[in-house]
Amino acid sequence: MIKIYKDNLNTRDEIFSLKVNVKDVSSIVREIIENVKTRGDKAVFEYNKRFDKADLTTLRVSEKEIEDAYKSVDKEFIEVLEYASKNIRAFHEKQVRKGFEISNEEGVITGQKIIPIERAGIYVPGGTASYPSTVLMDAIPAVVAGCEKVVMVTPPNRDGKISPVILASAKIAGVTEIYKVGGAQAIAALAYGTESIPKVDKIVGPGNAFVAEAKKQVFGVVSIDMIAGPSEILVVADNKNRPCDIAADLLSQAEHDKMASAVLITDNYGFASHVREELERQIPLLERSDIARESIDNNGKIIVADDLSRAIEIANVIAPEHLELCIDNPFEYLKLIKHAGSVFLGRNCPEAVGDYLAGTNHTLPTSGTARFSSALSVDDFIKKTQYIYYDKDALSKVSNKIDYFARKEGLTAHAKSATIRFEDNE
């Protein structure tokens, strides 16, 4: 049963601590990466057979497989995917940057080009659930950014197949290539390339501890989006809400996995007690009740704050992945939010709206990293390249300043490069 705390917790570690045993998988992952790096496809096939029980002869998903999968998905779900895709694309198109150029002085031009990365790698987890929403959220920003290739990897089932809804989502999102491989071996293949799988420039997407560790280890060879921790939700709610609604919102994250965290902050102890009772009523009704039970019991908390202003202070300390403000005048309180991955405003905006349909991205910073990082966006798939032009007259006006600055740093070659063009060396 979830515990209720008085407002005497002042750090994220106190508030959002996880009672889980995290196994160190770094040495296992290091071995997998090295094996894929040196043996390529052969290693990938072996790992597919070992971990996913899939005995494959080819890794790439064919166009026929994609088309057949798309046709097999019921029309209503295709319409829902198209609706979500439209919203996600519209939201992310607003993020597209333009370059700029400055020419304030005669003979001087400075500027910045926005260049999409050429090859984006998208990891889509399999295992206990299938997540077509992850395909849309991770691939569409890359497509909007203008990446030439959007390469998706995802684990096959024992029959060597990928879920039809995953393939249909990839088609709708604009994924260019799909490969049947998951786990750390998939991250290694994207980072270093194999005979079948192209090396990419950046890898994004969630995964288990092995995937997260692999992303950490290949960073530098390729770029990554983030090292995602367990999913988390923080709900700030007053007693004007129905306890059943708030309990359902907390469970929407608790059902993800046993390590997920769900926290409620309220200013009313009676309401806190009613939400706890409602959690106990709803958990047994869930298909993933065992997962939600362990998440709520080990990592769930209800904090009773003195008032809503204090609740917002605590929220900023936590810097949660998902923050719901189920209160009156939520936009007024939004002004006070400093640290959160994504904020859900009002009493009728459950976190699931953002997971699927609203258009905002659901790949979000976890574990307090919202203090310094952001949701996945088009920015994750671009580079910014600067450029500079000085004609000879313009350089002559500042060469002495460059010379002076460079010599202050003891870099005489820097200094000389700015002055030599005005010396008579014939």
List the one residue out of 323, 353, 350 whose CA is nearest residue 338: 323
Q: Report the C-alpha gap between 407 and 22 in whole angstroms.
A: 53
- Which residue out of 177, 232, 294, 321 is catalytically annotated? 321
8 A C-beta contact, residue 183 and residue 153: no
Within 10 angstroms of residue 66's Cβ, the number of other Cβ atoms is 18
Q: Residue 123 in 3-state DSSP?
A: strand
Q: Residue 116 in 3-state DSSP?
A: strand
CB proximity list for 112: less than 8 A, separation 6 or greater: 99, 100, 101, 384, 385, 386, 387
Full DSSP string of 249-298: HHHHHHTT-TT-EEEEEES-HHHHHHHHHHHHHHGGGSTTHHHHHHHHHH
8 A C-beta contact, residue 352 and residue 373: no
The torsion angle over the Cα atoms of residues 397, 398, 403 and 405, rounded to 10 degrees, is 150
- Residue 148 annotated in active site: no
8 A C-beta contact, residue 165 and residue 248: no
List the one residue out of 269, 382, 248 whose CA is nearest residue 7: 269
Q: Please return the burial class of 287, using the count of CB atoms within 10 Å of its CB with bins 0-12, 13-18 and 19+.
A: exposed
Q: Report the C-alpha gap between 198 and 180 in whole angstroms.
A: 13
Distances (CA, A) of 287 to 251, 256, 284, 381: 12, 11, 8, 36
CB proximity list for 269: less than 8 A, separation 6 or greater: 4, 304
- Which residue out of 92, 256, 274, 322 is catalytically annotated? 322
Pairing of strands 108-116, 382-390: antiparallel
- Residue 92 annotated in active site: no
Active site residues: 321-322
